[in-house]
A and B are shown apart, each in its own frame.
Chain A
Amino acid sequence: MGAFIARRSLRMLVILALASVAVFYSLRFAPGDPSGVALSPTALASAREAYRHRLGLDLPIFTQYVVYLSNLARGDLGSSLVTGKPIGDMLGYYGKNSLALGAAAFALTYLIGIPLGVLAAAKRNTWIDNLASSLAVLGMGMPNFWLALLLIWLFSSRLHLLPSAGCCAPVNLVLPAVVLAAEGTAVTMRMMRSSMLEQLSQDFVRTHRATGLKERVIVGNRVFRNALLPIVSLSGLRLGWLIGYALIVETIFQWPGVGYLLVDAVLRRDYPVAQFFSLLLVLVVVLANFLADLAYGVVDPRIRHA
């Protein structure tokens, strides 16, 4: 177990180091730089040069990278080139909003996906199963940004029930969370269903039935736990997708979270903000995968991370 954690921690460090270099270099190779946003288009070339010099953008990229890392190590996250706000403050505000949205979507995904998958498997080939499976197929095929538009059209424009955008009351959270959760719920439901079906065809289930154990106990207790395994092991990956989709969903609903901020920062060439938040998201994804692997060992005692 200790060796496993050590090996995985090393791998996470490698990924983060590579990602930081990649992010740093790719942003700086980009055409255009922050002076295009901060200064007027008619600014003199000398003013532009002075601005770049003040930010250290005229140094070799490698030197800039080392400076950035040493600042980071001292806890200095820098501040936005556009608004001048310190990144630490932005992290608090945008991070909290993203956490709320992500947690809501994650909860929706599993609270709906898992029971629905169990139900569909238990009532296999009935109308319940068919309905749930059809919905899942639709959920997987539907591009989430289009779903967002349809829901806005229905609930905001026609029924006037929910706001189409904005922050930060719980009522603002409903539509983005549903849209963000849609695909994951569909995938989880389908995976849970097929996983349950696979477990139900195992010998131990037949033995349980032969001993007269109630079907409810067999399905709800014995089979369920085993069937949960693939869901747990893929939950880290799912979180990665959730973060990716959050960039799109937050942008559509103008939900001021990290995804919305990142898309905006990339478009405006706000280097420090784009750098910090893309690395933060990479860190979250890598950590989530690690935790999912650990959880896998807890759920399935046969797996020991030797």
Chain B
Amino acid sequence: MVAQAGEFAAGASARPVRERSAWRGMWRALTRNHLATLGTIVALVYVVIAVVGPRFAPYPYDQQDLLNANLPPLSPGHILGTDQVGRDLLSRLMMGIRISLAVGVGVTAISVIIGGLAGAIAGYYRGPIDTIISGIVELTWGFPLILLAVILAGSLGPGLRATVLAIGLVNWAGFARIVRGEVLGLREAEFVQAARAIGLRDRDLLWRHIVPNVIPPTLVMTSYYVALAIVIEAGLSFIGMGAQPPLPSLGVMIAEGRNYMFQNPWVTTVPGLAILLIVLALNFFGDGLRDALDPRLRGR
């Protein structure tokens, strides 16, 4: 993978004009893959819902209406129906998607920045600084995330803060690992050696040649990690360690509907399907991107 990314980039960076076409080639490979295209579209729809959805929601997400509780989907005025206290499921779903996506994207953004920086420094400068960073990464990597979240929920009190902190504290190490590996490989790539030989400064070398080539594999990983963060947040919210009611994260919605599952299964099914859909979409997008980046896999 490292070698492939290097070769792939070597052709690209030698002539600036072809750099764009390399990205376009990747884009073409990505859009040829129907599942990946579908995944991209679904993910974009979620983003739109998260950003503007709650503004257009037909009801406030916490407005109760006991006379219209447990309505099935397609009821007049409530497209997705209502929950056990008559809250509109569509409005709650929109808010839930906003919260879950915000947690997923927010945590992953922090992990990418910290992990990316640490990995790049370790891979580029090597030596003792690499030993220290890799040591910390090895300690963190593989620590059970949910266990950490539960411990943190114990100290910070259950809530999104503990969840976000736990996911961030573990996941940055994943990014640090992959970025370090990429940078180590790129550092020895011919085009980087050549750029160094003509006297490019460290900073320019990093920004112009190394960073652009590290972004694609990091992006693949990012899509998986956003999905992972969404599932973990939902799981923690479900056992009462994450988002707290009445804030409707998708996990909270499933947990709240749990006791009414037999009267009204829709209350858990709707948010459950919403999680399943976004996780699959992000995984398909990530798989497609990975295949598009790996010339050996193109056209398989």
What is A's interface to B at a CB cutoff of 8 Å?
11, 14-15, 18, 22-23, 26-27, 29-31, 137-138, 140-146, 149-150, 152-153, 157, 236-237, 240-241, 243-245, 247-248, 251-252, 262-263, 266-267, 269, 274, 278, 281-282, 285-286, 289
Known contacts A30-B157, A141-B279; is A243 also within 8 Å of B144 by CB?
Answer: yes
Contact call A144/B235, Cβ cutoff below 8 A? yes
Bound Cα distance from A240 to B140, whole angstroms: 12
Contacts of A262 in B (CB 8 A): 147, 150
What is B's interface to A at a CB cutoff of 8 Å?
138-139, 142-147, 150-158, 227, 231, 234-236, 238-241, 251, 254, 258, 261-262, 265, 268, 272, 275-276, 279-280, 283
Known contacts A143-B235, A146-B254, A146-B272; is A266 also within 8 Å of B154 by CB?
Answer: yes
Contacts of A244 in B (CB 8 A): 144-147
Bound Cα distance from A248 to B236, whole angstroms: 8
Bound Cα distance from A68 to B234, whole angstroms: 35
Known contacts A137-B283, A248-B239; is A240 also within 8 Å of B144 by CB?
Answer: yes
Contact call B154/A274, Cβ cutoff below 8 A? yes
A32 to B, closest residue via Cβ: B157
A-B contact pairs, 13 of them (CB 8 A): A14-B139, A137-B280, A143-B251, A143-B272, A157-B262, A237-B142, A244-B145, A244-B146, A248-B236, A266-B150, A266-B154, A278-B151, A285-B142
Contact call B139/A29, Cβ cutoff below 8 A? no
Contacts of B262 in A (CB 8 A): 153, 157
* Contact among A18, A30, A143, A248 for B139, CB-based, below 8 A: A18
Extra inter-chain contacts (17) besides given A140-B279, A143-B231, CB under 8 Å: A14-B139, A23-B151, A26-B155, A138-B276, A140-B283, A142-B276, A144-B235, A145-B239, A145-B254, A146-B268, A248-B146, A248-B236, A251-B239, A267-B158, A267-B240, A274-B151, A281-B144
How many contacting A-B pairs (Cβ < 8 A)?
A: 121
Main DSSP-derived SS at the B contact region: helix
> In the assembled complex, how far is the CB of residue A296 from the closest CB belonging to chain B, in whole angstroms?
14
Contact call B238/A248, Cβ cutoff below 8 A? yes
Bound Cα distance from A241 to B146, whole angstroms: 8
A26 to B, closest residue via Cβ: B155
Bound Cα distance from A248 to B158, whole angstroms: 15
Contact call A278/B147, Cβ cutoff below 8 A? yes
Known contacts A240-B143, A244-B147, A278-B151; is A30 also within 8 Å of B156 by CB?
Answer: yes
> In the assembled complex, how far is the CB of residue B35 from the closest CB belonging to chain A, in whole angstroms?
9
> In the assembled complex, how far is the CB of residue B161 from the closest CB belonging to chain A, in whole angstroms?
12
Bound Cα distance from A158 to B145, whole angstroms: 34
